[in-house]
Chain A
Amino acid sequence: MTLWHQVLDYLSVNGEDVRSAVLQHLYLALVPVVVAFVLSLPLGWAVVSYGWVRHPLLTLTSVVYTIPSLALLLLLPGLLGTSILDPFNVLVALTVYSLALLVRSTADGLAAIDASVVQAATAMGYRPLRRWFAVDLPLSLPVVLAGLRVAVVSNVSMVSIAALVGIGGLGQLFTRGFQLGFYMPPILIGLVLSVAIALVLDALVVIAQRFVTPWARVAAR
């Protein structure tokens, strides 16, 4: 039987498992990005607005970013009081990584705004909160969304690690392959699906980016 037939065979027998692994994978990868994105806006704002926040917060995030994912995943149960098998650990770990990434890009995006534009907005009578949402946030979006792309793609590939501690997602196909004595089909299926999901989600962010920042393409010409 050729490898291709083995793959089809594996899919026909385990199709349901693969499908639920994909869904679980998406859930574990995307919820943290959304949570981190929302949290990164006020934090990025604080980094740019208050000098004293900047250094401690950015240092903390870059140290956290340095911790290997498996180590963090295994330290969290002790810190959160959860069981090792609880998917919540994965959500928290990936939120922390995404946050580390997105706080930095939000801060960079906000810092890169032309100060005179913000001044002009203030001089025209914007109150601070409204100005932030009407001017600062949209202008920082190109950089923020570039960070979001990295976070989405990294998360999708990182979720696989969770299988090592027995939590679902496409990583289970890798451990299954290992348990079957390095049996190729599940490994291959997991790899292809994981990369495909990452690329599709990345493309979706790019499309969203075009949609919400039409002026950026004009300026680039």
Chain B
Amino acid sequence: MSLDYLLDAAHWSGPDGFPHQILEHLRYTGLALLIAMVIALPLGVLIGHTGRGAGLAINLGNAGRALPTLGVLMLILAVTGVGLKPVIGALVVLAIPPLLTATYAGVSSVDRGVVDAARGVGLREPQIALGVEVPLALPVILGGVRSATLQVISTATIAAYVAQDGLGRYLFDGLAVRDYPRIVAGAVVLAVLAVVVDALLALLQRVVVSPGVRPRAGSRRRTALPQPER
């Protein structure tokens, strides 16, 4: 497997170089995630806290997994026309289900005794949701953020098939001219990027979770949450 393309210094600068394309990739994945989170997190907390719409939250998670990303992307672009905004729109659509499901699951699985106690000491509902349920649900919520992030990074690559810049460029341009070293370079950079971003989020997950909630060493681990397609 040839790594020439990857190791060539010329490909590490300029508007066609890796750094620029990585930033580009991160720019619109970040944007899409942000929009998805603004929509999904409050909704998930609301559903988890009130219990109303629980069926929706669960089914949306399952349906989200069943959606082929390429198909969704094509459908949205077929309706709206090609452009940055529709692509970001598609990414948002695909990021919402894992975020919403995880947030709902995290909040609704908080020990009811703790919530009752919070109500008992006189906290109002918003205070209970934000001050008790969200901190306790944070590990699960951040698990959803990790899944959604991987999903979006992966789908953003596919978007390059249609138009966009980003790391997908190397893959599709390479495929078009049968330049395997270029494909390998793009794939390696993409894989490393995904692994690094995920590792950083895992770290964040550890840092922000209250020490009282952190699973202790030796305690049985939680069953892994179902993860979405990438």
Contact = CB atoms under 8 A, between A and B. Distances in A.
Direct interface between A and B, CB < 8 A: yes
Interface of A: 63, 65-72, 74-75, 77-79, 84, 101, 104-105, 108, 111-112, 143, 146-147, 149-150, 153-154, 156-161, 163-165, 170-171, 174-175, 177-178, 182-184, 187-188, 190-191, 194-195, 198-199, 202
Contacts of A194: 66-68, 71
A105 B190 CA distance: 27
Nearest to B223: A108
Interface of B: 1-2, 62-63, 65-72, 74-75, 77-78, 81-82, 150, 153-154, 157-158, 161-162, 168, 171-172, 175, 180, 183-184, 186-188, 190-191, 194-195, 198, 220-221, 223-224, 226-230
Residue among A77, A105, A149, A174 with the most chain B CB within 10 A? Answer: A174
A182 B77 contact: yes
B78 A195 contact: no
Contacts of B69: 157, 160-161
Given A70-B168, A187-B75, A153 B70 contact: no
A96 B69 CA distance: 19
A163 B67 contact: no
Nearest to A111: B220
Nearest to B153: A68
Residue among B184, B194, B226 with the most chain A CB within 10 A? Answer: B226
A174 B72 CA distance: 9
A198 B66 contact: yes
B184 A75 contact: yes
A187 B162 CA distance: 14
Contacts of A72: 187, 191
A5 to B, nearest CB: 17
A75 B192 CA distance: 12
Nearest to B174: A74
B74 A71 contact: no
